Structure 1
């Protein structure tokens, strides 16, 4: 495993990243909640981009992977700031953003911050507004009281340790919602979603598709694909979507 490069941001956080130089538009991979840049999709896409002679960037949000800070202290606004900082610092020219799960939400925020630079967008099981529509909406009254009183709440997870949901994560999420106001996406967009995904529903994918505004948007449902979307066939679907939006970019 090659050692990453680090960026010290104005916020004082240290962000680990790998950047491959090549032809544009440069592909930026934005990972999911509690994921890191050594995941299957990020590494496979980097190898694919190298084989294509394309520029590629993958990185760890603060509290994730090899970047600084503790995961439990982070929130959507912090992770969006991390993404914005590393993209602005180490890239130039047009971009194709590829956002997985929470990275789909972060990538949508980036489309609004990086106006004029985004040439295309591919999301994979995008989870916009999940802190409000999944976490908060799914809490019962007792859980909400615990969160308000203690500032955090533990939930079971697929990881060795539980998810710790903080009040800051919920409150900050409300400042970054993208499905409650206009969401212009004036470039080619492909939303990818597996029908066997138990973390993000097809209803969420359809809600995003219907809410966003753009002249070249498509929602692709892959029968039987789960949330990881990391089988060989799914990885090829992602690569094809990147190629398609790149070729159609203005």
Structure 2
């Protein structure tokens, strides 16, 4: 059973925390994913075996936390992430951000730079509400977004995504690839070449844009967006070990 805490905004956030040596590894999941996903659970088991502190949680509208996905947006989930970091961890942290969680990890690094000891991203999807959704909308979809307040987009991985007007408009206030992005700590980015949700171009754009002295991007041939087969899970372990210096 998960534990829960309440954010300042009144959202009830579900989490699992493992005590151990720091920095605390914090898994940040993807859009419509939850903390029971393969990568989160595998990394928790790995951290436990290493005797390391670990945290996984569900954003509001995801998994076992309160709220509905349709009502949420990037800014809400950023608030949830900050609340989890501020309330459940002390000292340095190593965020491991998957897909939308990669964007969240970059927002976290911008908001709490002094807390970050290193960063790992997996198929990071920064600015996807603008560069993926909005840029790909037809005029008819844009009109529908304006008239009914949302559109539904097909997904290769689950039921259609409900994309609200609020998510698009809020996303524009949280973009990270348009302004300087300082990452003054080791960063390891993992990206599959067979990913149909996030392109290698996105990964290269992040690599080029960030101001970071120790940043590496690993492209994995034929790996998909899930990035959760045994080979990929081992690469995640290696990337976390690398930024931890172990």
TM range (shorter): over 0.9
2:45 to 44, 47, 70: 47
Separation in 2, partners of 1:160, 1:229: 16
SS of aligned partner of 2:106: helix
Give the root-mean-square deviation of aligned CA atoms: 1.0
Alignment partners' CA distance in 1, 2:223 and 2:152: 28
Structure 1 segment 117-196 matched on structure 2, within 5 A: 117-158=115-156, 161-196=159-194
**TM-score of the two chains, using structure 2 as the length reference:** 0.98
Mapped partners of 2:114, 2:77: distance in 1: 21
Where does the alignment leave 5 or more consecutive residues of structure 2 unmatched? Answer: none
Q: Give me the whole-angstrom Cα distance separating, in 2, the residues matched to 1:101 and 1:159.
A: 13
Name the CA distance, whole Å, in 1 between partners of 2:156 and 2:228. 17
User: What secondary structure does 1:87 align onto?
Assistant: helix
2:193 is aligned with 1:200:
no
1:25 aligns with 2:35: no
User: CA shift at 1:164, angstroms?
Assistant: 1.2
Separation in structure 2 between the aligned mates of residue 237 and residue 142 of structure 1, nearest angstrom: 42
Correspondence 1:99 to 2:94: no
Following the alignment from structure 2 to structure 1, what is the Cα–Cα distance between the partners of residues 136 and 224? 21
Q: Measure, in 2, the Cα distance between the counterparts of 1:183 and 1:32.
A: 21
1:87 to partner: Cα distance = 1.0
- Offset of residue 160 of structure 1: 6.0
The aligned counterpart of 1:237 is 235
1:11 aligns with 2:1: no
Comparing 156-165 with 72-81, which one deviates more in the overlay?
A: 156-165
Shift of 1:163: 1.5
**How many angstroms does 1:231 deviate by?**
0.5
* Whole-angstrom CA distance in 1 between matches of 2:114 and 2:161: 37
Give the Å deviation of 1:58.
0.2
Structure-1 separation of matches of 2:87 and 2:153: 36
Partner of 2:226: 228
- The alpha-carbon deviation at position 126 of structure 1 amounts to 0.1
**CA shift digits 1:45-97 (9 cap, x unpaired):** 00000000000000000000000001000000000100100110010011111
